[in-house]
C-alpha cells in the first residue's frame, strides 16, 4: 500500500474510526481512507465469526500496514458490544487525536439457526454487535461531531436486513434496525453538519463461510470500499439514505408506499374489496428522511382525509 495524493477526494486532516477493520471489508475501508490521508483508528477484537475469542493481532496488523506505508493509525481492540467498549473505541480517537470526523461501523458476527430453533443467546449475541454496537459507537461519537459542526457516519446493513434471509433472523433484525438508527442520526445531525448513511455491502469474505461462491462474479472488498469512502468524505451530499454495493453494482435502496386509498370508515370487507388498489405501487410515493419524512408522511395522510381522498 502507498499513500495516494491524487487531485481527487482526499481525507487530509481527518480522523476516522473503523470498526471490524482487522479483516475483510473493514480492512479495505481503513486502508483506502489511510491511502487518501486519513488518520485511522483500526478497531477489531479479533474474534471468530460467531463473535467468540479475542485476539489483538488483526487490528494491529492493519494499523502497522498503514504506518509502514507512511500513514497514521492506531489499533483498538475494545468491543462494540458494550457501552464501555463503544466509549473506548471513540475515546481512542478523541484522546489521541482530539477529534473524530468519520465513523464507519462495520463490525459483525454470524450465528445461524432456523427461526424455530434460534436461541435467545444467539439472537442477542448478533444484535449486541450489529445493532447495539452501532448505537454504542454512534452515541459515543455523535456529541463530539455535533459540537465540532462536522461528521460523517456510515453504518452497515445488508440485503438480509432489507429483504430477509433464511436462518438468520438475528442478523436480519439487527440490520433492519441499523437503518432506523441511521435515520435518527441523520435527522438529529442535519443542523450540525453531521451526515449519516447506510451501506449495504456484499463481498466474499469470511462472513460468506459455508456459502458456495464458486459461480459468483468478482466480489472483492475493493469493489465496495470506494462507495464507503465517498459516504465518509466531506463531499458526500446525501444523508439518511441507504446505498448498495454488490458485485460492481452501486445503487440506492428506498422505502416507497402506494398512494393509498382513503375512506371515511372501513370494514374488513372494505379492505378485502380494495386490497389491490391499496397495494398498487405503480405510482409510488416516498418521504425522504431529511428534512422531515416522519412529518411529511403524516401530512400526506391527513391531506387525503381533509380533501376526502380526492387530492
**Active site includes 171?**
yes
Is the peptide bond prior to 172 cis by the omega test (within 30 degrees of 0)? no
Question: Cβ–Cβ contacts within 10 Å for residue 137, how many?
Answer: 28
Q: Where are the alpha helices (DSSP H) in 38-197?
A: 57-68, 83-97, 120-130, 132-148, 159-163, 169-189
Provide the 10 A C-beta neighbour count for residue 28.
Answer: 26
Interhelix angle 169-189/132-148, nearest 10 degrees: 10
CA-closest candidate to residue 107, choices 47, 179, 152, 182:
47
* Angle in degrees, 0-180, between the axes of helices 120-130 and 132-148, rounded to the nearest 10: 20
**R_g of the chain computed on alpha carbons:** 21
| Cβ proximity of 20 and 107 under 8 Å | yes
Which residues lie closer than 8 Å to 47 by C-beta, 6 or more apart? 53, 54, 55, 79, 109
Q: Is residue 187 classed as helix, strand or coil in its secondary structure?
A: helix
Catalytically annotated residue among 29, 97, 150, 171: 171
Element (H, E) at 194: strand 194-202
Closest by Cα among 5, 92, 38 to 229: 38
Indicate which residues carry an active-site annotation.
Answer: 171
Amino acid at each position: 500500500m502507498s499513500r495516494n495524493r491524487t487531485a481527487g477526494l482526499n481525507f487530509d486532516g481527518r480522523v476516522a474510526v473503523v470498526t471490524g477493520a482487522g479483516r475483510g471489508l473493514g480492512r479495505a475501508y481503513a486502508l483506502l481512507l489511510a491511502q487518501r490521508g486519513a488518520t485511522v483508528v483500526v478497531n477489531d477484537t479479533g474474534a471468530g465469526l460467531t463473535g467468540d475469542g479475542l485476539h489483538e493481532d488483526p487490528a494491529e496488523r492493519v494499523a502497522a500496514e498503514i504506518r509502514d506505508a507512511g500513514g497514521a493509525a492506531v489499533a483498538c481492540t475494545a468491543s462494540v458490544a458494550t457501552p464501555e467498549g463503544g466509549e473506548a473505541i471513540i475515546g481512542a480517537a478523541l484522546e489521541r487525536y482530539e477529534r473524530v470526523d468519520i465513523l464507519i461501523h462495520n463490525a459483525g458476527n454470524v450465528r445461524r439457526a432456523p427461526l424455530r430453533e434460534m436461541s435467545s443467546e444467539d439472537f442477542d449475541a448478533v444484535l449486541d454487535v450489529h445493532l447495539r454496537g452501532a448505537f454504542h459507537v454512534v452515541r459515543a461519537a455523535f456529541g463530539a461531531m455535533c459540537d465540532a459542526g462536522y461528521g460523517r457516519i456510515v453504518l452497515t446493513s445488508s440485503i438480509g436486513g432489507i429483504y430477509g434471509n433464511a436462518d438468520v433472523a438475528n442478523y436480519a433484525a439487527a440490520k433492519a434496525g441499523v437503518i432506523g438508527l441511521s435515520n435518527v442520526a441523520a435527522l438529529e445531525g442535519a443542523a450540525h453538519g453531521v451526515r449519516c448513511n447506510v451501506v449495504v455491502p456484499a463481498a466474499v469474505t469470511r462472513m460468506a463461510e459455508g456459502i458456495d461462491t464458486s459461480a459468483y462474479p468478482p466480489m472483492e472488498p475493493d469493489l465496495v470500499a470506494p462507495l464507503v469512502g465517498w459516504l465518509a468524505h466531506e463531499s458526500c451530499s446525501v444523508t439518511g439514505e441507504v446505498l448498495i454495493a454488490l458485485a460492481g453494482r452501486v445503487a440506492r435502496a428506498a422505502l416507497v408506499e402506494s398512494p393509498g386509498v382513503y375512506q371515511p370508515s372501513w370494514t374488513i370487507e372494505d379492505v378485502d374489496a380494495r386490497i389491490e388498489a391499496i397495494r398498487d405501487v405503480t405510482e409510488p410515493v416516498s418521504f425522504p428522511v431529511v428534512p422531515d419524512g416522519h412529518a411529511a408522511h403524516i401530512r400526506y395522510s391527513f391531506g387525503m382525509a381533509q380533501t376526502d381522498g380526492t387530492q
